[in-house]
Amino acid sequence: MSMRSLYKARGAFSNKWPICAICVDRTRGRTTEVDLGYGVRVWLCETHASSEFRNFRAGRDFVLTLQRIWQANACLTAARHRALQAHLAAVRPKAREAARTLPGSYAWPAQRAAAERAWAAGTPLHATLQHACDPRRYGDARPPSRRTIRRWHAQRRWVARSTRSP
């Protein structure tokens, strides 16, 4: 049975700085004190203090990890909770922007137009669902869900178009 402890791991890292709050006994190299606002500070290694880790998955990785650590230490105070929520909020707009620039992952204009042409021609919804969700038609992009296609169908844009044109 292996019982990991910092006592056993002593010598593996410097005593000059506190250990990384996330790495604990796997801490390597120098750590820095990171200010999260609301009077909340945490010591982290270079990797965990990096903006790459802090912004990864829209900040959810960073926030969930610290939340669980502070829970385990029974010190998830209101200030720490607020600091984590503030971090999520600060990171979110960037994440949305990145999602918007991903080609084809949030909009399927060509696929939608093709489906609407089929519906305008009288093809029933269920006959188009399979084809419209087929992942092979979307390459690396995420195909629309059946729910999305049902929404396109319910919005009936082709009806509005055909009444507008002479």
Is residue 6 within 8 A of residue 22, CB to CB? The reply is: no
Smallest distance, Å, CB 42 to Zn ion?
A: 10
- Contact stretch for Zn ion (CB under 5 A) within 12-20, 67-75, 122-130, 154-162: 12-20
Residues 6+ apart with CB under 8 A from 21: 42, 43, 44, 48, 66, 69
Residue 35's DSSP bridge partners are 41
Contact 40, 85 (CB under 8 A): no
Applying CB under 5 A, among 19, 45, 84, 132 the residue interacting with Zn ion is 45
For Zn ion, the closer CB: 80 or 153:
80
Please say whether the beta carbons of 113 and 152 come within 8 A: no
Check residue 48 for interaction with Zn ion (CB under 5 A).
yes
For the bound state, the minimum distance from the C-beta of residue 48 to Zn ion, rounded and expressed in Å, comes to 4
- CB 143, min distance to Zn ion, A: 37
Which spans of this chain sit near Zn ion (rule: CB under 5 A)? 20, 22-23, 45, 48
